[in-house]
Amino acid sequence: MSSKIVLALLGVVFLMALGQVMFKASAQVLNLSGTWLDYGFLLRFIPSLMIYGLATLAWVWVLRYVELSKAYPFMALAFILVPLASMWLFNERLNWRYAIGVTLIFLGVAIIGAGSSISVDAAVETREGA
């Protein structure tokens, strides 16, 4: 898998994780305000939706060049980033089972990523030649 694709995949994962963290922050404000029209809520919620929209556009770009079965496992990295961010930002607790799970997820994504051989340049040439 080319470095461009891997970076794009990691960017999608980062954006999705960021969106999740911002959704949680939105939910906390919503709990305090009790209304969907609260400025503090909207200040968090609307950018969350925009980030998810950007992540979706990036995801569709990636899928132009990579099989879904090869790209989708990268999304599992969000299962690492979101809880870590939740621990740091929202004081949520994680245990040793989480550490083992994170290790297994990371190894799985690395194995799948290493076995992929598509490049953006080859995919573009194939598409343009067709």
pLDDT in tens, 16-64: 999 999 999 999 999 999 999 999 999 999 999 999 999 999 999 999 9
Per the structure, how many domains does the chain have?
1
pLDDT in tens, 101-112: 889 988 888 887
Least confident among 72-76, 97-101, 104-108, 113-117: 113-117
DSSP code of residue 36: T
Quick check: pTM over 0.85?
no
How big is the chain by its Cα radius of gyration, in Å?
A: 18
Q: What is the domain extent for residue 109?
A: 3-129
